[in-house]
Amino acid sequence: MVKPAVLFFFFILFFISGWMLNSSVSNIKGSVQLQAMENQKLSEEGKTIIALKDKWESKVQLKQTIKKLRTFPKLTINTKRGSRYALQYSQLNPDELNKLTNELFNSSCIIKVYELKRIDVSHATVYVEIES
């Protein structure tokens, strides 16, 4: 037989324990939800960073771009200064200029210097420096 006072004490004890356990469950549940959200955000940011790095910091991409630009006609200067590649094209007609510009713009290399000089109405010289 248990007295009501003892039962009441146990009830209070049980209530407090239950409340503490419930708080613990809520806390850990909240932590889990937060962690899941953080992971999702981290995953998305990781993808964005990787995509941006692949686009702007990829050595492979840069080499491919340089390779293409070097094969482009009317290349008069082709040097490497430190971490920069310097390329100059002379006597480009409007069609060639367009092709070169498109090639340059579609690549994801980092253009540091761009200079265009018109020689006459239909010819121009283009000088570019690309950072590796």
Asked if residue 82 binds another protein (CB under 8 A), the reply is: no
Q: Which of 1, 59, 71, 82 binds another protein (CB under 8 A)?
A: 1
Buried b (16+ CB within 10 A) or exposed e, 20-47: eeeeeeeeeeeeeeeeeeeeeeeeeeee
Site string for another protein, 90-109 (x = CB under 8 A): -------x---x--xx--x-
Binding window for another protein (CB under 8 A); candidates: 26-34, 61-69, 70-78, 82-90: 26-34
What secondary structure letter does DSSP report for 132? -
Identity of the amino acid at 7:
L
Closest listed residue to residue 66, CA positions, set 11, 9, 130 = 130
d(CA 1, CA 38): 53
Residues 39-78, one symbol each (x = binds another protein by CB under 8 A, - = not), give x--xx-xxxxxx-xx-xxx---------------------
* 66 and 84 Cβ atoms separated by less than 8 Å: no
User: Rule CB under 8 A: is residue 9 a binding residue for another protein?
Assistant: no
Which residues contact another protein (rule: CB under 8 A)? Answer: 1-4, 7, 14, 17-18, 21-22, 24-25, 28-29, 31-32, 35-36, 38-39, 42-43, 45-50, 52-53, 55-57, 97, 101, 104-105, 108, 110-118, 121
